[in-house]
Structure 1
């Protein structure tokens, strides 16, 4: 294609509301245009990238044996009420009524719809296993859309759902999807990790996330430096520890004035945060609970939810009504259940609140304290890996894929049954597999850019090569050579952009680099004289002179 016929609204200035590099560069390169908060139009160059991502996903999903379907974005409330998620999903579910006052939602996901389809058309065990996928628009009414298309309200997702007669069959498809996703992200040229994950609001048991490594990632993911162990920080579990210390000091009540945070208390008493114990109060359906953790550790709310179900942190008034002193809550004289994290339960001679205004205890110990120990905390860098091999490292990641084993969570409620070999009805077992299509583009940019712009791989770049002819509209020799090369590339199926604008060379170079086009060839009058063209790879600084007659074969060798 020729640039003059394309809408490529590149810009020099960084948008004020774009905080991360992918958002900045997608706007500046003219890939997307903001319509409203969390809503973006994809412009021609952005659509080309989007379609390339979709095509790779579609090819690998088809290769896996999955069948493509397309389900409605608008979904009737009855399906969500049947599954029990109409009232549970939360404010992200955008609900509305049609002209007949029938309730609908814009689908944030499609478990209900696909299970409804399966209940209609899957009748016999002989039809199983079966895996359906779609590439479709989703809508989640995010309270705070941010980071461009990484967390937008409307986005494109590939979601797949499989149906099985038993767990063994589900495991086979789950493993196949795990490999399929790896194939997809390998072809996309992404540096990614697969981690154990929590299933969240979708539900189910086994769950893995695929994360693109990037400093801007919202998720913290943990890796062992001595094995293949990897997990989302929320999913890293720890076992009960053996106590190795003995008390050597006498408990002492210390005036700490208005020091209420662990950081300030540790500094005031000249001790490490890891030698302190902090106590948090939560409210559950079974009453208030006290949770004690080591001072340098953070509470893992997913673990707490798994232990107690829905919970809230106690308010200041509730803490006061429990006769506790916020900022000075300790482990003694509590009238509520005390749950202690494994790493805190093996401490000796630690600092904790004294349950008295302006006082802490030094040399505190667990003797004569009634408590239950449990795994309550997030992992930190340097923890022993849960598999016993090496230490944990923590990096940031952008989640681009997630696979779940749903079991019968939806199929049992929505009666997605088949007739089994015995002639009796059997509830199908389900799997769910999602990829954030639009998010992949941003994640790729977060991982591959420089001070000039995007560095796309050939697999997803809007064009594979750009021809930049200097004085194309003035020099007949340059125009003839550029057009000839352009036609040669088109003839063998190379995706080529010819910059035929009446612009200075610097502007054309800057735009091609901003857009991340992997290969560039420059033709000038000098090249017309010496029979060469200038070649430069987007991710390299050096330039190469290539004989004009060899240019096609040279580029073909680069695209293998």
Structure 2
């Protein structure tokens, strides 16, 4: 590939609407161009990266025994009605009608369509196990698309679906895919972590997420530095931090606390540790036009884990209470809410640590007032529910007691689920077992964000100069930069090395634009090609060429022209 026969269009200025480094660098390097909110054109240099990611995914999926198919972007809405997800999925599911007034959706995922294929194509246990996958455009109507390709509305995803005769075999398929995903991300030279995760809107029994570790990640991973334990913050079990409840030593007292609407302000005002305060959160859950109010209590220095809270019976369909509801049930504004003397009965849910606290401070259900010296069973009844409802924090003991939690930001690039019969039952996807009896197929589903990997890899691999691509997914492995293209000797050596690299199946581009060296080097550093070969007249006088490795920008290697072939292959193999 010669640069004059290709399209490269970089930008010097950082676009004002970009928030994170991958979004900035993908636009500056000419990889993507915005078409609409959350919708991007993928330009030639970006498409080369995308295709290399797809190639690695295809190779490993094929090695796992999965079979590629292609399902359409447009799906009949009745399939989503059968699975009962037409409303559950919410406004992210883009719905529309065709000219015949028939209802359709743009696919955000393909569980319904693959289940329809299975119920029409799989009829006997002899056909199982079976795994299908496809790489296809998806659309999710995000309320606030942002971060470029990390949270776009249109994106490309690989999704796979396994079918088995029973749960035991379905879990074998699940673990095959777990290993396959690990191979895929290792092949891309990404620093990643697999974590236990919540099943979310996809559903199923359990799941794992695969995260590229990066400080700009939206997710937080809780892990143990000395073992394989890792979980998404949403799922990490937070231990009770108090072995037992101590005896009361103080008497309950109502005290004025003007303008202390947060636990931080209250701690400062009373000159007490924040760990002696209680944070009150009010949720409302509606069922059959009846509103139930829940008062969730966590320690002042902790934060609510909404995923955990949602799993408590009765709270699964919750929302945060309105100001009017808070006034009605607690007779005070937010900031002074507490479990003592509520205006109306509420269900009190205490975090496990809160349930063992004594002599604590909580809101008095009066504006500008709190109670100090509060104790369970003395000043208020025991909690209605005691449960783990908080997020773990750095240094919390692990659930097994052997070590402590560390926290790390990550970008989710893959997610695998064991579904069981969640979809096969609703869509009647069954088979005949060895006894000739009908059973529902056991399913798993497995997704990888192809376009998301592009952005995540940049978030993990960049410096002040631009992108630093891992060799396996770089748009080109090598760029040859002649310093003075019009110099015949420079041109001839550049072409000679270019042809040699091509003969060794190395993905190389030759910059024949006769650009000034500084501009040329800066552009290729921005784009992030792993290896740059500089060929200039001064080095050629000594029969040398210069090698620059992108991840080591301050270092260079000079090699003789006569041994360039062997030396370059050796260098590239070590990248």
Normalising by structure 2, report the TM-score: 0.96
CA distance in 2, matches of 1:42, 1:459: 19
CA distance in 1, matches of 2:412, 2:297: 31
Cα offset for 1:170?
A: 0.8
Cα offset for 1:324?
A: 3.0
Mapping for residues 256-405 of structure 1, pairs under 5 Å: 256-285=257-286, 287-307=292-312, 308-326=315-333, 327-334=335-342, 335-368=345-378, 369-371=381-383, 372-405=385-418
Asked if 1:447 corresponds to 2:460, the answer is: yes
Cα offset for 1:226?
A: 3.5
Partner of 1:251: 252
CA distance in 1, matches of 2:198, 2:294: 23
CA distance in 2, matches of 1:439, 1:323: 45
- After superposition, what is the alpha-carbon deviation per residue over 1:459-494, rounded to whole angstroms, capped at 9, x for unaligned? 01111111110111x211111111111111111111
User: Once structures 1 and 2 are overlaid, which stretch shifts more, 327-336 or 201-210?
Assistant: 327-336
Cα offset for 1:244?
A: 4.8
CA distance in 2, matches of 1:200, 1:6: 43
User: Once structures 1 and 2 are overlaid, which stretch shifts more, 331-340 or 200-209?
Assistant: 331-340
- Point out 4+ residue stretches in structure 1 off by more than 3 angstroms: 238-242
Mapping for residues 149-160 of structure 1, pairs under 5 Å: 149-160=149-160
CA distance in 1, matches of 2:93, 2:571: 47
The 8 Å contact of residues 465 and 519 in structure 1, kept in 2 or not, is answered as yes
Q: What SS does the corresponding residue of 1:234 show, helix, strand or coil?
A: coil
Partner of 1:485: 497
Cα offset for 1:285?
A: 3.3
User: Once structures 1 and 2 are overlaid, which stretch shifts more, 127-136 or 363-372?
Assistant: 363-372
The 8 Å contact of residues 239 and 396 in structure 2, kept in 1 or not, is answered as no
Mapping for residues 433-472 of structure 1, pairs under 5 Å: 433-472=446-485
CA distance in 2, matches of 1:437, 1:214: 17
- After superposition, what is the alpha-carbon deviation per residue over 1:18-45, rounded to whole angstroms, capped at 9, x for unaligned? 1100000011111111111101111111
Equivalent pairs counted in the alignment come to 559
Partner of 1:132: 132
Cα offset for 1:154?
A: 0.3
Cα offset for 1:164?
A: 0.9
Q: Which residue of 419, 430, 448 maps to 2:432? A: 419
The 8 Å contact of residues 10 and 28 in structure 1, kept in 2 or not, is answered as yes
Q: Which residue of 524, 531, 534 maps to 1:512? A: 524
Q: What SS does the corresponding residue of 1:445 show, helix, strand or coil?
A: helix
CA distance in 2, matches of 1:529, 1:450: 33
The 8 Å contact of residues 245 and 358 in structure 2, kept in 1 or not, is answered as no
User: Once structures 1 and 2 are overlaid, which stretch shifts more, 239-248 or 281-290?
Assistant: 239-248
Mapping for residues 40-119 of structure 1, pairs under 5 Å: 40-119=40-119
The 8 Å contact of residues 237 and 375 in structure 1, kept in 2 or not, is answered as yes
CA distance in 2, matches of 1:388, 1:205: 26
Mapping for residues 522-533 of structure 1, pairs under 5 Å: 522-533=534-545
CA distance in 1, matches of 2:255, 2:388: 30
Q: What SS does the corresponding residue of 2:210 show, helix, strand or coil?
A: strand
The 8 Å contact of residues 226 and 391 in structure 1, kept in 2 or not, is answered as no
Partner of 1:217: 217
The 8 Å contact of residues 238 and 391 in structure 2, kept in 1 or not, is answered as no
CA distance in 2, matches of 1:370, 1:490: 75
Q: What SS does the corresponding residue of 1:468 show, helix, strand or coil?
A: strand
Please, what is the CA RMSD of the aligned residues?
A: 1.2
Any stretches of 5+ residues in structure 2 without a counterpart? none
Q: 1:323 to 1:458 in 2, by over 3 A?
A: closer
Partner of 2:190: 190
Cα offset for 1:262?
A: 1.2
CA distance in 2, matches of 1:550, 1:387: 58
Cα offset for 1:502?
A: 2.3
Q: What SS does the corresponding residue of 1:193 show, helix, strand or coil?
A: strand
Normalising by structure 1, report the TM-score: 0.98
Q: What SS does the corresponding residue of 2:446 show, helix, strand or coil?
A: strand
Cα offset for 1:239?
A: 5.2
CA distance in 1, matches of 2:227, 2:506: 42
User: Once structures 1 and 2 are overlaid, which stretch shifts more, 496-505 or 247-256?
Assistant: 247-256
Cα offset for 1:549?
A: 1.7
Q: What SS does the corresponding residue of 1:86 show, helix, strand or coil?
A: helix
The 8 Å contact of residues 229 and 387 in structure 1, kept in 2 or not, is answered as no
Partner of 1:227: 227
User: Once structures 1 and 2 are overlaid, which stretch shifts more, 251-260 or 156-165?
Assistant: 251-260
Any stretches of 5+ residues in structure 1 without a counterpart? none
Partner of 1:494: 506
Cα offset for 1:225?
A: 3.1
